[in-house]
Amino acid sequence: MKPDLLKKLQHITEQNIIDIENHKKNGNHAIGFYCLYAPTELAVAANAIPLPLCGTRQAPIEAAEETLPRNLCPLIKSSYGFAATDTCPFFRFSDIIVADTTCDGKKKMFELMSEIKPVHVLQLPQQQNFNLFLEPWKNEIKNLKTVMEETTGNKITLEKISNAIKLLNRERRAKKRLMDVAKAKPSPLTGTQMVEILFKTGFFADKETGIDLMNEISDECETLIERGDSPYTKETPRILLTGVPIGLGSDKVVKILEDSGASVVAFENCSGYKQTFQVDETCDPILALAEQYLSIPCSVMSPNHGRIELLDEMITNFQVDGVVDLTWQACHTYNIEAFQIRKFVNDHFHLPYLHIETDYSESDTEQLRVRIEAFLEMI
């Protein structure tokens, strides 16, 4: 990719902090989110900036362990650690935290976090049976609307929600288009670059800026594809990464895979392709949000058939040669689901599969390297 595009990404990332500061100085608000399940549309409809706060860095974990058990998922520890040490500007900017009862670790951690900052917790159903759970989830979203109105002092009309849905649908389409450039064989982007772009644009105060930049990068990538310009060859093994979310600071598995000669082309996780859904723009906006967000196929759902369907589609469309399933240490739901994912990948696609359980630290890099190299030898 052109160096000036990466420079532009870096420049906007730095400018973004100042933009959020100014936005807040003018009496506006920012809302912190932790899970993909909470509809950020409601923050946008209240003229607030939604900020994705899931911790992806090792640095604050030690401080978090003064309060939380060591044997807990690093994402939860990192998220709490950033809050406790006040070292994340985005957490500081947030006027209120919107949290979900996604998994046991998160929901209990949020109780502790609420001593640091106001936290509004959505009761997330753990099953996607609409007959039983759509109505209560819809009520949670209605309540969230009220909370957003109270926090910002701005009235949220149905029209404002509809406009927010349209805007975020456009953002999700831009994201999907960007991720889809890696369907080209070979991909014009490295997986590490993809992670960086998705991660940084996620914090942009102005959604239009992010949409424009992602489209610009996609345009550039399409030119590269036409020219046959790629960091890889057609023979480079193409890997799909599935499982827990990753970001800058928690992308070591992507880096080791690419250092060992693979190309990570697809991300079936909530920091990647799980974000590419579209909310129905034609029906009642609250109902549309409730239906679409409840359908996200995270391993906390039981059963979680949606993940298998998404994997089925992605393994085919991205022409994948192998699947790596990443579980953060102590994430029971992804850890157990790995058994079903292995079976699906082996039986249905006859592709090599590797399950990795690790944390954010660098201490097991060499052990991971052996597993990853041996996995690539299987391809």
Binding residues for another protein (CB under 8 A): 352-353, 364, 366-367, 369-371, 373-374, 377-378
Pick 169 or 260: Cβ nearer another protein = 260
User: From the CB of 289, what's the least distance to another protein, in Å?
Assistant: 42
Of the two residues 8 and 369, which places its CB atom closer to another protein in the complex? 369
HSE-CB at 330 with a 13 A cutoff on CA atoms is 16
Q: Does residue 27 sit in helix, strand or coil?
A: coil
**Burial classification of residue 122, based on how many CB atoms lie within 10 Å of its CB (0-12 exposed, 13-18 middle, 19 or more buried):** buried
**C-beta separation of 333 from 299 below 8 A:** yes
Residue 95 or 373: the one with the smaller Cβ distance to another protein is 373
CB 76, min distance to another protein, A: 21
State in angstroms the smallest separation of the CB of 347 from another protein. Answer: 12
Q: In what order do the strands lie in the sheet with 263-268?
A: 263-268, 238-243, 322-328, 353-358
Contact by Cβ (8 Å): 47, 28 = yes
Q: Taking the complex as a whole, how short is the minimal distance between the CB of residue 286 and another protein, in angstroms?
A: 46
Q: Which is nearer to another protein, 336 or 378 (CB)?
A: 378
> Cα separation of 342 and 276, whole Å?
24
Closest distance to another protein from the beta carbon of 360 (Å): 16
Nearer to another protein, 35 or 356 (CB): 356
Compute the least distance from the CB of residue 320 to another protein, in Å: 17
Q: By C-beta, is 165 or 356 nearer to another protein?
A: 356
- Kindly give the residue spans of alpha helices, DSSP state H, lying in the chain: 3-25, 41-45, 61-64, 74-85, 89-93, 104-113, 130-152, 158-180, 191-201, 207-227, 252-259, 285-294, 305-317, 332-344, 365-378
- How far separated are the first and last CA of the chain, in Å rounded? 27
What gap in Å lies between CA 241 and CA 243, rounded to an integer?
7
For residues 67 and 367, which CB has a smaller minimum distance to another protein in the complex?
Answer: 367
- Distance of closest approach, residue 366 Cβ to another protein, in angstroms: 7
